[in-house]
Amino acid sequence: MSNEDVAANLAAVKDEIATAARAAGRPAEVVTLVAVSKTHDAARILPALEAGHRVFGENRVQEAQGKWPALKEQFGDIALHLIGPLQTNKAREAVALFDVIESIDREKLVAALAREIEKQDRHPACFVQVNTGEEPQKAGCLPEETDGLVAACRKAGLDVVGLMCIPPVEEEPSHHFALLAEIAQRNGLHQLSMGMSSDFAVAVTFGATHVRVGTAIFGHRPPVA
């Protein structure tokens, strides 16, 4: 896939989001496309920026630090989402660079972020990540822990706006999306980050306000060594 295809892929994904939203009786504008650029270099991200896209997702703090400060300077109004697991010792860097943190999954991290938010006076929007499939290897708090963690975020002064999930790969995602929507509703949270390349249209049907799409825009990622 060439870099020229990125803009075309981006447009196709946006079309598919709009179609799914219309079919669900939702305005397409309520769904934000987070273009997941992890593993891809600036040259590959540029066509998306030049096409006017401004919302991106990265899963590693260190990798994002290597490419986004320069791009943020060049294109002022970027919203950068952290979508990967966050170590407490990276809270400072994460608060400094990211505009949205989607992967809050434990109280210790809430405390570390709260300290940095106060220190830096930067206020990223926050999502609590829920391990809806209760998979042992996967990040995210358990569904039954979510209410408590959301309360802890609010108590610590975090700007908690919604929930995020990554359904198990081998399962039909819709019941995970429905579960996330239900947990969000009972917590008075209005934003739902769910849906990836293979299932973002389904997620839109189930109320996603953010879909995180990488492969369908930027092509396949090189396998991690």
Ligand X SMILES: *Cc1c(COP(=O)(O)O)cnc(C)c1O
- The site for ligand X (CB under 6 A) is made up of 36, 38, 59, 83-84, 166, 196-197, 212-216
CA neighbours within 13 Å on the CB side: how many for 183?
30
The phi-psi region of residue 188 (left if phi > 0; otherwise alpha if psi is between -120 and 50; otherwise beta) is left
Please enumerate, as own/partner, the contacts of 74-77 that have beta carbons within 8 Å and a separation of 24 or more.
74/49, 75/49
At closest approach, how far in Å is the CB of 200 from ligand X? Answer: 8
- Least CB distance from residue 36 to ligand X, whole Å? 4
How many angstroms separate the CA atoms of 166 and 211, rounded?
11
Q: Which residue is nearest to ligand X (CB)?
A: 214
Nearer to ligand X, 156 or 204 (CB): 204
Task: Find, among 156, 185, 195, the residue nearest to 57 by Cα.
Answer: 195
Q: What gap in Å lies between CA 131 and CA 134, rounded to an integer?
A: 5
At closest approach, how far in Å is the CB of 195 from ligand X? 8
Nearer to ligand X, 120 or 215 (CB): 215
Smaller CB distance to ligand X: residue 36 or 160? 36
| CB of 83 vs ligand X, minimal distance in Å | 4
- Give the residue with the Cβ less far from ligand X, 142 or 151: 142
